[in-house]
Amino acid sequence: MSDITSESQRPDYQQYLEDYHPHSEEFHQAVKEVYDDIADEYASRDEYREWNIIERLIEPDRIIKFRVSWEDDKGCIHVNRAWRVQFHNLLGAYKGGLRFHPTVNESVLKFLGFEQCFKNALTGLPMGGAKGGSDFNPKGKSQREIMRFCQALMRELYRHIGPDTDVPAGDINVSSTEIGYLFGEYLRLNNRWEGVLTGKTPGFGGSCGREEATGYGVIYFLREMLTAHDDSLDDKRILISGSGNVALHAAEKSLAEGAKVLSLSDSGGTLYFENGMTEQDLKNIKQLKLVKKDRLSNAETGSFKKGEKPWYISDADIALPCATQNELDDHDAETLLGNDIRILCEGANMPLTDGARKQFINANALYGPAKAANAGGVAVSGLERSQNAELTTWPVERVDEELNRIMKEIHERCIQYVEKKDGIYPYSRGANIYGFKKLAGAMIAHGVG
């Protein structure tokens, strides 16, 4: 990794970010992370500079920003902001999720859209990168209110998307239920049944296995990482943060692969299982989180550690942050490494602060970056598009087989341009170099327009 510290070595992109993307901390963090890894590759070819690849890569094609007005159950009108960041369609139609959360802003969506370009490149499927969402908070809203919000959002979004243009999917707080409301409104507006959204329910064009794909994919990627280092998941003690779609399915696949899951968490604290949760424990938690939409503190199983993160549980081997960005900070990283937990695989997007990430890389830990490790979700979204285009439905076994294959290939792509250092593959560097070369190659081939 290049250490760019002095002013004279300051790469051009930093000034560009400051001028054109001020107040965009998360976006700056995501770009810096990539640049640190690709700096040598960038410097190695004049062509990249001649074609001004860096600035063109970090500037999204467009950002669509709009008002969403919706009516609550009492007849009061509310206004939220929504965005779609169409980052790059170099490799295929724009593709990436929609997030509903009060912390959503342009910086968060730019970082997610930027990362999505690299992630989608790694899948090998023809998909560009995008991300969108709203600062709408679904917590405490009735199902009808959520439905009206989704319909109001689609009344603007539908103009900007299409099966060959931009194909959104779910992300935080956007599950197949919300995708159903969005899809229904698109149908009413357009009167065309087409694969304009993925993450639909399998009953009306969704792919079997899409719901499980991100979490399962994380474990398939982790398994590949361990195999490449003569290790396995057998009896490994795993710390998982979060308790949403990614966390719960990562836990499910971990148990199926013979590992022990010691924790799940939400913003209220950590649910701890000293000897690992059972399949029945996980079933109960899924019912609590996905059906009742309740807090982990109300779980009737495990011991709840209020206000604590999972990273302070010392007797573990692997950490899987699966909640949200920057959830694992410098101090958490110090604690994990201090407890000799040297295997980490990212389920969430950019879950490590810049400092935490550097600590894992400098410690030469086995570190699986989100772009690669959580790409299973968007990969199965790609398979959903294929099924919609073919007007067909694949059985779950076929989807799972394809997901396994794709995660294996992503692992191979991550090590294509790097070598082991002291016995460990630098996956983050490998993933960023692979994505950069693919995106830059397409950018050069398409010319400047």
Residues that bind ligand NAI (CB under 6 A): 170-173, 214, 241-247, 265-267, 322-324, 327, 347-349, 374, 377
Is the Cβ of residue 199 or residue 302 nearer to ligand AKG in the bound state?
199
What minimum distance in Å lies between the beta carbon of 10 and ligand AKG?
A: 30
Is the Cβ of residue 265 or residue 388 nearer to ligand NAI in the bound state?
265
- Return the residue matching tokens 């690709």: 38
What minimum distance in Å lies between the beta carbon of 175 and ligand AKG?
A: 12
The residues carrying an active-site annotation are 131
Positive or negative, the Cα torsion across 155, 160, 165, 168?
Answer: negative
Nearest to 429 by CA among 351, 362, 369, 382: 369
What minimum distance in Å lies between the beta carbon of 189 and ligand AKG?
A: 21
Backbone phi, psi, residue 78, to 5°: -120, 155
Residue 95 contact among ligand NAI, ligand AKG, none, beta carbon within 5 to 8 Å by kind? ligand AKG
Do 75 and 39 touch, CB atoms closer than 8 A?
no
Cα 213 to chain center, whole Å? 12
What minimum distance in Å lies between the beta carbon of 95 and ligand AKG?
A: 5
Residue 414 contact among ligand NAI, ligand AKG, none, beta carbon within 5 to 8 Å by kind? none
Residue 323 contact among ligand NAI, ligand AKG, none, beta carbon within 5 to 8 Å by kind? ligand NAI
Backbone phi, psi, residue 169, to 5°: -150, -160
Is the Cβ of residue 217 or residue 430 nearer to ligand AKG in the bound state?
217
**Whose CB is nearest to ligand NAI?**
244
What minimum distance in Å lies between the beta carbon of 179 and ligand AKG?
A: 10
Is the Cβ of residue 223 or residue 443 nearer to ligand NAI in the bound state?
223
Beta bridge partners of 64: 84
Instruction: Summarize as ranges the residues that interact with ligand AKG (CB under 6 A).
Output: 95-97, 116, 119, 169, 171, 198, 349, 377-378, 381
Measured CA angle at 33 (ends 130, 404), to 5 deg = 60
**What is each CA distance from 156 to 79, 86, 161, in whole angstroms?**
14, 15, 10
**Whose CB is nearest to ligand AKG?**
97
Residue 172 contact among ligand AKG, ligand NAI, none, beta carbon within 5 to 8 Å by kind? ligand NAI
Q: At what angle do helices 330-338 and 354-362 cross, to 10 degrees?
A: 30
Instruction: For residue 80, give both structure tokens.
Output: 């939220």
Is the Cβ of residue 134 or residue 198 nearer to ligand AKG in the bound state?
198
What minimum distance in Å lies between the beta carbon of 362 and ligand AKG?
A: 27
Measured CA angle at 95 (ends 203, 390), to 5 deg = 45
Q: What CA–CA distance (Å, rounded) separates 274 from 319?
A: 15
Measured CA angle at 447 (ends 443, 449), to 5 deg = 105
Residue 84 contact among ligand NAI, ligand AKG, none, beta carbon within 5 to 8 Å by kind? none
Is the Cβ of residue 14 or residue 404 nearer to ligand AKG in the bound state?
404
Q: What CA–CA distance (Å, rounded) separates 409 from 414?
A: 9
Instruction: For residue 170, give both structure tokens.
Output: 């779910």
Residue 267 contact among ligand AKG, ligand NAI, none, beta carbon within 5 to 8 Å by kind? ligand NAI
